[in-house]
Structure 1
Amino acid sequence: MRNLRMHPDRLLPADPAVREIARGLYRRVADAPICSPHGHVPAQLLAADQPFASPTELLLTGDHYVTRVLHGAGVSLGGVQAPAGLPPIDPRDAWNVLARHWHLFRATSVQYWFEHQLAEVFGIDQRLTPESADGIYDQIAERLTDDDYRPRALFERFGVDVLATTDDPASDLAAHRALAADPSFHGRVLPTFRADRIMDPAADGWRPALDRLEASADIPCTTYAGMLEALRQRRAAFRAAGGTATDTGVADAWALPLPAAEAERIHAAGLRGEATDAEGEAYRRDILYRLMEMSAEDGMVMQLHPGIHRNHHRPTLERFGADTGHDLPVPMTYTEPLRRALNDFGTGTRLRLVLFTVDETSFSRELAPLAGFYPSVYVGAPWWFLDTPDAMERYRRAITDSAGFEKTSGFIDDTRAFCSIPARHDMARRVDAGYLASLVATHRLDEEDASQIADDLVRRVPYDTFRIPVDAAPDRTPRRADVDDLTYSAT
């Protein structure tokens, strides 16, 4: 039986001299609290604090990164999770499907964080194989009956200080309020406002989403102006519940305002079910502009991640639903699409815009230069298809010349898989330690500056970037005078 052991120098540089520098930098941050400002773990998971149902639900079917690798090799999703309306797959059978195909994951980031979960979270000392699968399943299942493996206990054990969720504008935010009011819960779970469903009146589901928005805000959304007012009201409710950020995922980054009369006309066409695709696109681009305008007014940090072709494979969508591994990246541009909005809000306002991409060619070509000029623009971490060790290092090498370290987001785990959070953050801390060590070894940084940067990237930058209060850490020092709070004019 092959042993599972996480090497203490994993992901650190191979050169012995550089590796020794990286070890010191990593040790500074290895046990630092986790700030996760962008994720998809639901607040209700922690509010209810119920035991996890099975190892399969927790580690396999709850993580579309895992299931998509299986599907790409020809393993039907139906082998690990049931299509909608059919009886569930036996969780042990699904686990054994994973074990029989574990060789597919070699050298992937999925292998890295899956094995980190096995070893560091559940104390498993054997590699996953067809022969060891049942024994490992039984060990994890037994641990999941222990109170120490309930969501809240793991949250505390993982050292999570801040966990941001992703929430529809109509969410009642009851779970967030319950956690904030519970003195036995240590940490912060912050709602993030995501209004994607109301942005395109030609898309399926727009009218039901609009109706939910109207009911939650108690403001009629039968007009475009009323809908905007309802969004403002719900943003205020999110801020009252501790939210500091919004999140927007759209097809492209164009943010272009429509004349009010034209926006009202398209809105009315949407209510009749008659909006065309072209009208839906124009309306979506207008709403993106309006959301940036709202962030410039209320100070909620706006995350923008365009460039994903959602639900690429319709048969999978119809059988298994969304978020099942078939969203795919497309090339993306930012400079011209955002020019109008950045001219209007990019300086002299409270706007903070964190730009993400899965088109890594845009890091050095557009995102870093935009962040290098506009006080409002920050470069988001490698995300989704790019949250791998190699892509993380390429990101640092692509953006640092133009944007430095201060105009970045901090690490973003973007996960629904709760137990992978510490594994993903550990990966990022190791990669950043290696990159900083390379700068020390080539005399581009001295070791004192590198140590400060390593510390800042974990303990300060994500808090500052996402405007998350840091009163729980009185030893923090401000990064700088916040340019968004100063009078500023471009020259």
Structure 2
Amino acid sequence: MPLLDDDRLFDAEPKARGVARALYAGVRNLPIVSPHGHTDPRWYAENQNFPDPARLLIVPDHYVFRMLFSQGVRLEELGVPTTDGAAVETDPRVIWRRFAENYYLFRGTPTRMWFDHTLSTLFGIDELLSPNNADAIYDRIADQLTRDEFRPRALFERFNIEVISTTDGALDDLKWHQMIRDSGWRGRVVPAYRPDAVVDPDFEGFSKNLDRLAEISGADTGTWQGYLDAHRQRRAFFKSFGATSSDHGHPSAETANLPPGEAAALFDHVRTEKADSRQRAQFRGQMLTEMAKMSVDDGLVLQIHPGAWRNHSPSMLARFGRDKGFDIPTRTDYVAALKPLLDAVGTNPDLTVILFTLDETVYSRELAPLAGVYPALRLGPPWWFHDSPEGMRRFREMATETAGFYNTVGFNDDTRAFPSIPARHDVARRVDCTFLARLVTEHRLGEDEAHEVAHDLAYGLAKRAYKL
């Protein structure tokens, strides 16, 4: 029995399943547009073989190790590096065996679906991972990873990736992107401007980060106008490497639009580290509006990823650093929070602001009505914890009736796990085709129209929204 069923995620009802099959056949082989993700540009620049199955598929993937940690497996046992260099497991085969022993924990999760897809379609393995076959599967993957056709650039081409965007800090020198450019390789890898470290006063080292921003931009970040000029210069630098978007991971969607004098005074408080928690939040909100205004001028698409309580466990942050599975969703307001930004630029059809959420309760109440009327707004796909078949279905059901399909931006995979990119896009295409098939069988959409929408959801919307 194959590991993957051809009809996975399609409706069990025969007529709807038949329509979904036909729709999926028209989009399954479309190129992948990956406009927002966290793969490492160094992979494509150096094009070195990936080291081993564990360090490729387990150690860097917080979806994997957060589940295992919840069941008592220590991150040190999975080879996750510590901030102080303390000893962790370094034998990749031991890590792989530990993962295989606990693979049953992922039953019913999207991680299981992605991982099975990767094993089957990338490595040709059509048996379920278990303790009994862990070593044999490890050996098969390890052998393939030594081959040229499994280097990053070859996989990029094999995955049919048309373009991929990395996420790069405002202080990044983009040297890996420069190396990619200098190599002459034709794969399109572009950066995205992520300025959290220099717009969030709660970010570690914020004051020193502003000093560094001054050094690399030549602007005086001791003044409000100089600070804004520094951002403009960095955004232009990113655009010179093909960037089409900026990305902002704030605790909330709060925005502000203060008069220039008040904004400058607020910056002075923040710059001298005298701001209280309310002022720091207001500054983050002011900077979202400033970034939106800059986007009107330079054309970068503005992405807002709010609502995560980052690094919820201070002890795990201290021991392992950021992005180790302890970012937790929170309730998020959009209607009131975004009003200052929308009052300033929300009716501008030349601006694109893409909204994401970890709070599904706002889909039909807030996000769809906002995107359904403001020309500048688009809805990002289900993100992070909701990047799942169920999450995608809920999104379509709650957002489409008010925002339609064309106020959304298709799918982006938002992943650090490079081999999972085809799996994630395949899941999204199957779920969307299933949703469209239901509309067809309920006589709410013509099948010809459904084919057009399926193509747009899989490919066209992301290209247009992100100007790719």
**Normalised-by-shorter TM-score class:** over 0.9
The equivalent residue for 2:52 is: 54
The equivalent residue for 2:414 is: 414
Alignment partner of 1:35: what SS?
Answer: strand
Contact 1:202 1:273 in 2 (8 A): no
1:380-428 CA distance string (max 9 Å, x none):
1001000000110111111111111111111011000000000000000
Contact 1:410 1:457 in 2 (8 A): yes
Cα deviation, residue 254, structure 1: 1.2
Cα deviation, residue 70, structure 1: 0.7
2:252 and 2:339 map into 1 onto residues whose CA distance is: 13
5 Å matches for 1:30-429? 30-81=28-79, 82-84=81-83, 85-89=85-89, 90-183=91-184, 185-348=185-348, 350-429=350-429
1:69 and 1:431 map into 2 onto residues whose CA distance is: 24
Q: Which runs of 4+ in 1 moved over 4 A?
A: none
Cα deviation, residue 279, structure 1: 2.3
Go from structure 1 to structure 2 and tell me whether the alpha carbon gap of 1:38 and 1:27 turns closer, same or farther (over 3 Å shift): same
1:93-150 CA distance string (max 9 Å, x none):
1111111111110011000001111111111122111111111111111111111111
Cα deviation, residue 348, structure 1: 3.2
The equivalent residue for 1:441 is: 441
Cα deviation, residue 244, structure 1: 0.6
1:18-59 CA distance string (max 9 Å, x none):
101000100101111000011000211101111111101111
Amino acid in structure 1 at the alignment position of 2:168:
D
2:438 and 2:262 map into 1 onto residues whose CA distance is: 54
1:265-300 CA distance string (max 9 Å, x none):
443344444333222122111112111111122221
Contact 1:381 1:410 in 2 (8 A): yes
Aligned equivalent of 1:5, options 3, 6, 10: 3
**TM-score (ref. length: structure 2):** 0.96
5 Å matches for 1:23-34? 23-34=21-32
1:121 and 1:417 map into 2 onto residues whose CA distance is: 13
1:404 and 1:373 map into 2 onto residues whose CA distance is: 11
2:129 and 2:42 map into 1 onto residues whose CA distance is: 31
Percent sequence identity is 44
The equivalent residue for 1:478 is: none
**TM-score (ref. length: structure 1):** 0.92
Contact 2:349 2:375 in 1 (8 A): no
Alignment partner of 1:437: what SS?
Answer: helix
2:225 and 2:433 map into 1 onto residues whose CA distance is: 49
Query: 1:18 aligned to 2:16?
Result: yes
Contact 1:4 1:127 in 2 (8 A): no
Unpaired segments ≥5 residues, structure 1: 469-491
Contact 1:37 1:462 in 2 (8 A): yes
Contact 1:28 1:455 in 2 (8 A): yes
1:364-389 CA distance string (max 9 Å, x none):
11111111101110011001000000
1:283 and 1:348 map into 2 onto residues whose CA distance is: 23
